[in-house]
Structure formats: structure tokens, C-alpha cells
């Protein structure tokens, strides 16, 4: 039998069955409570290097909490997360089995890009300054190196001419593309997207999805929470349907989107399709 989550094929024809690299992201037995509310109730997820995983699920199902726990923005109460074979945290019933130093957390975060629904750009910095800020702050690059790289990244997301614009001078789609360029600045192995197009006017959704699709072809591992089913069908290697804090069903787009087995998946898809 195929282990859970190891479906679809990574770019470059890598056969998951013989791929000995550690998973890009592995989550095992993840539990999270907010007070009495059991928001993650035993999530297992394996995303192989270079895969694009799309996470679907109704509002409140735990999608953001799951993404945030990969990036240390949320601490699991139980279970473990590893990124590129390196543990992010291990807990058993709230007891810490391994605690990372603040330094290790910052280093790991540098390897994980995060793109938020509401862009979260610094309003007082230009597009180029937003992109260059993290490499300078983390001393991964000199000011002039990161400025040159910011220009390159802005060109890559189609905003070569907007380097000096402030966020308020940009459309939502342009701001989100700056946020993607910023996420790329530390050359992350994994990029997490939390509903990257939900705050956009419909006519701006395509330009942002196009940039994410381009990234997908470069071998970066992507985990994308979205309701854009067309995007999932076209770009995802792995589709995960989360409901009430559990993975109800996962597999290829052909399996989960076109031939969902679980009634809850069918009901959800009927609403968003
Ligand atoms: P989704 O992203 O799928 O909409 P979330 O992960 O944001 O779901 O939230 C799952 C549930 O956890 C929701 O019921 C939400 O209200 C609750 N929740 C999320 N963050 C917090 C928090 N910091 N404190 C209390 N409850 C929270
Ligand atoms: Mg959310």
C-alpha cells in the first residue's frame, strides 16, 4: 500500500516510492486545542520535496492553524512537525519532548516562506524595500546584494517597474505579488500560502495564481490553502480535504476533486464548484 500522502509525482519524474530524501513537510498526530475547542484532531500529512499540496476545507476547519503550526506561529499540543527532515516541535499531551532554541526557530522560519491572505506588507516601505527587508535583517545578505535580488524577484513576479511604489499605490493583486517576492527572498525550500487570493477582486485572482503556478514548476515545495478548485485541479500533486480538524480525504486532484469518496468532501465541493 502507498503510505498516506505519498501520491502524485514530484517534478523531474521523481518516483515517491524510491525518493529517499526526507519529506519537505511531515506532520504526524497533530492536535491543537483553543480552550475546549479541538481545532486539530489528529492530522497526518506528508508533502514530498517539490510537491504542490492544496488544502481545501470549510471555514473554521483548522487550515490556518495547520499552516501556522508548520511555521512556529502556533504550537501544537500534541504531535510533531518536521520540515526537510528537521523537527519543528515534538509534544506529547502538551508535554514538551523537544524544545527548540529561539535561534533555531528563527533559522527554520527563514527556510519557510509564508504568504498571508491580507498581504501583510510594511506600508511605509516600498515594494523593493519590503522584499529586501528580511535578508538584511537576518544578515543573510548585504544591503546592496538584497537590493539587487529584490529587483530580480520583483521582475520575476511581473513587477519590475514597481520597485519604488508603496503598497497603497498598488492593486491587491500587485501587493500579493510583492508578498510572494518577499517570501522568496530568503530562498525558502517550502512556501505556505494561506488563502492568497481570498482578499482580491475576482479580476485580480488570475495574476496571483499564475505566479504561484510558475513557482510550482521550479521545484519549490508549496502548500496552498485555497478555494480555487480550478487551480487545485491544474497544479496540485496532492489535494487534502480538512474538516473539523481531521483530514477527511487526500489524494490526487482526480481522486479528491473529481471522484471524492467521502460525503463531506462531496458536500463541500458542491458548494465551492
Ligand atoms: P480555517 O483557517 O480553516 O478557517 P482556523 O485554523 O483559522 O480555520 O480556525 C479553526 C478554529 O479555531 C476556528 O473555530 C477558530 O475560531 C479557532 N481559532 C483559531 N485561532 C484561534 C485562537 N487564536 N484562539 C481561539 N480560537 C481560535
Ligand atoms: Mg484560515
- The alpha-helical segments, DSSP class H, found in the chain are 63-70, 102-110, 127-137, 143-156, 172-184, 202-216, 229-235, 253, 263-272
Q: DSSP readout, 102-166?
A: HHHHHHHHHTEEEE-TT----TTS-HHHHHHHHHHHTTSS-HHHHHHHHHHHHHHTT-TT-TT--
Q: Whose CA is nearest to atom 26 of ligand 1?
A: 34
Ligand nearest to the CA of 57: 1
Q: What is the pLDDT of residue 70?
A: 92
- Write down the pLDDT at residue 175: 98
pLDDT digits (tens, 9 = 90+) for 126-181: 999 999 998 877 777 788 888 899 999 999 999 999 999 999 999 999 999 999 99
pTM of the predicted model, to two decimals? 0.91
62 lines ligand 1 (CB under 6 A): yes
Query: What does the pLDDT read at residue 1?
Result: 35
Q: For residue 32, which of 94, 73, 76 has the smallest C-alpha distance?
A: 76
Ligand 1 pocket member 57 (CB < 6 A): yes
pLDDT at 3: 44
pLDDT at position 95, please? 67
Sign (positive/negative) of CA torsion 57, 184, 204, 253? negative
Tell me the helices (H) and strands (E) count for the chain, helix number first. 9, 11
Residue ranges of the chain with per-residue pLDDT less than 50: 1-13
Amino acid at each position: 500500500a502507498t503510505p498516506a500522502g505519498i501520491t502524485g509525482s514530484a517534478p523531474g519524474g521523481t518516483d515517491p516510492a524510491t525518493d529517499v530524501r526526507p519529506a519537505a513537510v511531515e506532520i504526524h498526530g497533530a492536535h491543537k486545542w483553543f480552550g475546549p475547542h479541538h481545532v486539530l484532531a489528529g492530522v497526518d500529512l506528508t508533502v514530498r520535496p517539490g510537491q504542490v499540496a492544496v488544502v481545501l476545507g470549510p471555514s473554521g476547519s483548522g487550515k490556518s492553524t495547520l499552516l501556522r503550526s508548520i511555521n512556529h506561529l502556533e504550537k501544537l499540543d500534541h504531535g510533531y512537525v518536521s520540515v526537510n527532515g528537521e523537527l519543528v516541535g515534538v509534544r506529547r499531551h502538551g508535554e514538551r519532548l523537544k524544545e527548540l532554541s529561539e535561534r533555531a526557530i528563527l533559522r527554520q522560519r527563514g527556510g519557510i516562506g509564508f504568504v498571508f491572505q491580507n498581504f501583510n506588507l510594511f506600508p511605509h516601505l516600498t515594494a523593493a524595500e519590503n522584499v529586501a527587508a528580511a535578508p538584511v535583517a537576518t544578515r543573510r545578505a548585504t544591503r546592496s546584494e538584497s537590493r539587487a535580488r529584490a529587483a530580480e524577484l520583483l521582475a520575476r513576479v511581473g513587477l519590475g517597474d514597481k520597485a519604488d511604489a508603496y503598497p497603497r499605490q498598488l492593486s491587491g493583486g500587485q501587493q500579493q505579488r510583492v508578498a510572494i517576492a518577499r517570501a522568496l527572498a530568503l530562498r525558502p525550500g517550502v512556501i505556505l500560502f494561506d488563502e492568497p487570493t481570498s482578499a482580491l477582486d475576482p479580476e485580480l485572482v488570475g495574476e496571483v495564481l499564475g505566479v504561484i503556478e510558475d513557482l510550482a514548476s521550479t521545484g519549490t515545495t508549496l502548500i496552498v490553502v485555497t478555494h480555487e478548485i480550478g487551480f487545485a485541479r491544474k497544479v496540485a500533486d496532492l489535494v487534502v480535504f480538512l474538516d473539523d480538524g481531521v483530514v477527511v480525504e487526500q489524494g490526487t486532484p482526480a481522486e479528491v476533486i473529481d471522484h471524492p469518496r467521502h460525503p463531506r468532501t462531496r458536500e463541500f465541493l458542491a458548494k465551492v464548484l
